[in-house]
Structure 1
Amino acid sequence: MDILDSVVIGAGQAGLSASYHLTRLGIRHVVLDADERPGGAWQHRWDALTMRDVHGVAELPDDAAPTRDDERANVAVPATFAAYEQAHALPVIRPVRVDRVTDDDGILVVHAGDREWRARTIVNATGTWTHPFLPHYPGMETFLGDQFHTVDYPGSQFFRGKRVLVVGGGASAVQFLGAIAPIAETVWATRREPVWRTDDFTPEAGAAAVALVEQRVAQGLPPESVVSVTGLMLREQEREAERLGAYADRRPMFERIEPDGVRWADGSFERVDVILWATGFRPAIAHLAPLHLRSAAGGIQLDRNGRGTTAVADPRVQLVGYGPSASTIGANRAGRAAAKGVHRALAERVVPTP
């Protein structure tokens, strides 16, 4: 069977960036994408999310960022990705859902059902969207109302006139409250007290936040999102919810869920019709388990003190959209770094650390 120089797993922003740079370096590769159409995770976002609502989409290498503020994000970004794939003749194969990656006497084998690809290196760009995190609370299976995770968000109009419990302390929870509070009753619960940013989010502040994530990855700890260390900010579209008090009465987490609502730690009961879990995502890396990349601390340690993309345990593996590169700007930079890592691994014929 033909042995490729590299296989990129995932055709979101990080995967396309990596493929672009691999192509420029003359590295023979394919990109395997689980979706039937271009667009990565963006094609699965809710219809009410417009380009005006998102926190920014960085441009792909040698391209311009989409700027159509009033267009749906799940239309504008996929259209941009599709045009980019075509313009640069990127070798994307879809739909291909990778099951696992194994090692066959020094060659990495990417398995997808009854198909497989063999390569000397891989670039993993599977992101987090397919791995939503849903915490378990006693009684949640007894709840008679609706429960949604961010990945299933039906749009704000679904909640009109209902009593909605929003769970989570990140940017998504803030955005959901901003959209829902003007048309429904809302209750907000978080594990920790929200940290609000009162100063401007400067490039220096962004670099400091990324550095905190890099420290975790450098130690082999599971990564936290960049957003989790930047603090929360309200945009203009959330000011009406702020005026209505949606952010003022944040509650600590409940102890259990009952058929008609939740029971707080003090024993009081809160009736709700819907629970919206804005509890984030985890890296989608289960298919890499056969390579034993995780450290004793539970995460995948990356080179260059967490600023690189090369797995310390196996330099044939590059991870983009993981840890500090799990943002649109970081993903593009990581794509370039990953291509250089692949080039280096091919030149040195590296082997995994025992």
Structure 2
Amino acid sequence: MNRTIVIGAGQAGLAAGHQLTRHGLPFTILEADHRVGGSWNHRWDTMRLFTPATKDGLPGVPFPRGDRFPTGAQMAAYLAGYADRFGMDVRTGIHVDGIFRDGERYTVTAGSDRFEADNVILATGAERVPNVPSLAADLSPAIAQLHSGAYRNPSQLPPGAVLVVGAGNSGADIALDLAPTHPVVLAGRHPGHIPPRIESPVMRVGFRFLAFAWTYILTEDTRPGRASREKVLSGHSGPLIRVKPQDLDAAGVRRAPRVTGVVQGLPQTEDGDIHDVATVVWATGFRPGYEWLSLPGLDTSGGLENHRGAVVGQPGLYVLGQLFQYRFGSHNLVGVPHDAEMVVADIRRRAGRGVSVAGAARSR
């Protein structure tokens, strides 16, 4: 029987594991971290999800009742329990460093370990490699620098002013976390561009309904979905969800436009201000990071071209949890289970010697 290797034990990898288990297909999940949960084990201490707990569960196991918006640590614990609940074969501490194809089969390597498979699902996260602008190299060595992916709490930073670069959700959250202990400036393309607080209960319910509806309605098969997908993949971040302008103001966080250069070792923003700071936190996002793949004909310069998760030109290779992979919510807990269904459906077709989605995409 065909065997599948799933790389990554976050929500995408476990959603795939659930579908594979459901259909009796053998699989092994490989996770580089020493714990199930992937990057959820390495978020900042005060980080909370934007979706309520009622929407954060994977198929078959509701998220435990408790805090309305779970922390990253609570999500990691939930995922570990989920893998145990279904008896998934998850091997942690396995850092995959290569995938090679021999005919219709794949060899997955992790140091001296080798795994043979008919199918490989890359569930390594929407974007996994920290993105830091090149001008970071021009900053004074006296300025401490770290990426949001490495940020845990204010005690990591030396005393003195902090410039948080990137006015998206992560940047705003980190700026608020730092404000009680450090003077903070939040710099970004649209600083403070945050939806107004919705006071009416009816409006709040309507807004939440629309927010979750977008996850299902906006797909690559619809015209609005294709337009949204183009914006998302071109780097246009969405609106800030939890933080409000008054929250930043009350905490004493100053706002500035985006950083455009370095003057005498100090960061300069678009308005010409030069910021004499002790630390810069780069909340500038991540990039896909598939360069370690070396399969013939595979373009790894960005997100892998795929049709409903099946990588075009690579039969048996799949992605899961990519940014707007098929639908607006493909990368999050609300959307990834539906994409996992499509991926495993294609694996079942391959096992039954049917035509794969990727093959159909190539023939169009």
Q: Percent identity?
A: 26
CA distance in 1, matches of 2:17, 2:84: 12
Superposed displacement of residue 262, structure 1: 1.9
Q: What is the aligned counterpart of 1:339 among 319, 335, 344? A: 344
CA distance in 1, matches of 2:344, 2:257: 46
2:36/2:79 contact within 8 Å kept: yes
Q: Alpha-carbon deviations, 1:279-313, whole Å to 9, x = none?
A: 11122423334253338x9542222xxxx222233
RMSD: 3.5
Correspondence for 2:257: 251
CA distance in 1, matches of 2:44, 2:190: 27
Superposed displacement of residue 206, structure 1: 4.7
Change beyond 3 A, Cα 1:81–1:192: same
Alignment of 1:270 onto 2:295: no
Alignment of 1:301 onto 2:308: no
Partner SS for 2:116: strand
CA distance in 2, matches of 1:269, 1:313: 49
Q: Aligned pair count?
A: 340
Change beyond 3 A, Cα 1:139–1:40: closer
Structure 2, unmatched stretches of 5+, are: 199-203, 325-329
CA distance in 1, matches of 2:108, 2:66: 37
Partner SS for 1:122: strand
CA distance in 2, matches of 1:313, 1:285: 16
Q: What is the aligned counterpart of 1:116 among 98, 114, 117? A: 114
Correspondence for 1:135: 133
Alignment of 1:202 onto 2:197: no
Pick which of 18-27 and 227-236 moved more.
227-236
Q: Alpha-carbon deviations, 1:83-110, whole Å to 9, x = none?
A: 2212211111222111111110221111
2:194/2:243 contact within 8 Å kept: no
Change beyond 3 A, Cα 1:41–1:265: closer
Change beyond 3 A, Cα 1:82–1:145: same
CA distance in 2, matches of 1:7, 1:142: 45
Alignment of 1:145 onto 2:150: no
Correspondence for 2:79: 81
Change beyond 3 A, Cα 1:218–1:313: farther
2:187/2:258 contact within 8 Å kept: yes
Correspondence for 1:45: 43
TM-score (norm 1): 0.82
For 1:105, the aligned partner's letter is: G
For 2:322, the aligned partner's letter is: Y
Correspondence for 2:6: 8
Q: Alpha-carbon deviations, 1:12-47, whole Å to 9, x = none?
A: 111011011101111111111111122221111123
CA distance in 2, matches of 1:222, 1:329: 21
1:17/1:331 contact within 8 Å kept: yes
Partner SS for 1:287: coil
CA distance in 1, matches of 2:238, 2:247: 23
CA distance in 2, matches of 1:149, 1:138: 11
Superposed displacement of residue 142, structure 1: 2.9
Structure 1, unmatched stretches of 5+, are: none
Correspondence for 1:55: 50
TM-score (norm 2): 0.80
Q: What is the aligned counterpart of 1:155 among 132, 153, 156? A: 153
Q: What is the aligned counterpart of 2:249 among 220, 242, 247? A: 242
For 2:253, the aligned partner's letter is: A
2:127/2:322 contact within 8 Å kept: no
Alignment of 1:185 onto 2:183: yes
Correspondence for 1:233: 241
Alignment of 1:65-80 (within 5 A): 65-69=63-67, 73-80=71-78
